[in-house]
Chains A and B, each alone.
Chain A
Amino acid sequence: MSSPVNPDFLILAVQFVVAFAIAIVSLVGYRMFGSRTLFRMALSFFLIGGGILVQDAGNIATELAGFGPELSILGLVLEALGYFVLAISHIYTVRSEVGAEVSSMTLLLPFFAAAVQPSTALVLEGVARSVSFFLLLYILSENIIFLVKNRNAEALLPIVGFALLLASLFIRLFFVLPTETSDLVDLLKLAGFLILSGPVLVLLVRLRGGPP
Chain B
Amino acid sequence: MMIVSDILKVVKEEGSKGEGARISSLLRKANLPYNRLTEITDRMVSNGLLEVTPQERGSIYRITPKGEEVLDSLIKFEEFAKAFGLRL
A residues near B (Cβ < 8 Å) are: 25-26, 29, 32-38, 41, 86, 89-90, 93, 139, 142-143, 145-147, 150, 152, 154-155, 157-158, 198-200, 202-203, 206-207
Contact = CB atoms under 8 A, between A and B. Distances in A.
Nearest to A152: B82
The CB with the most chain B CB atoms within 10 A, among A35, A145, A199, A207, is that of: A35
A154 B78 CA distance: 12
B34 interface: no
Contacts of A25: 80
A187 B4 CA distance: 42
Given A34-B1, A35-B1, A155 B77 contact: no
Contact of A41 (B74, B79, B86): B86
Interface residues of B, number: 16
A199 B1 contact: no
Nearest to B76: A206
11 contacts: A29-B80, A32-B77, A33-B4, A33-B88, A35-B77, A89-B86, A142-B85, A154-B82, A155-B82, A158-B84, A199-B80
Given A93-B86, A145-B85, A154-B83, 20 more contacts: A32-B77, A33-B74, A34-B1, A35-B1, A35-B77, A35-B81, A36-B1, A38-B77, A38-B88, A89-B86, A90-B85, A146-B85, A152-B82, A158-B84, A198-B83, A199-B80, A200-B80, A202-B79, A203-B77, A203-B79
A207 B83 CA distance: 16
SS class, residues of chain B in contact with chain A: helix
Contacts of A150: 82
A154 B79 contact: yes
A154 B76 CA distance: 12
Interface in B49-88: 73-74, 76-77, 79-88
SS class, residues of chain A in contact with chain B: helix
B85 A37 contact: no
A72 B24 CA distance: 59
Nearest to B77: A29
Contacts of B87: 37, 93
A65 to B, nearest CB: 38
Contact of A33 (B77, B82, B83, B86): B77
Contacts of A142: 85
A143 B84 contact: yes
A147 B88 contact: no
Contacts of B77: 29, 32-33, 35, 38, 203
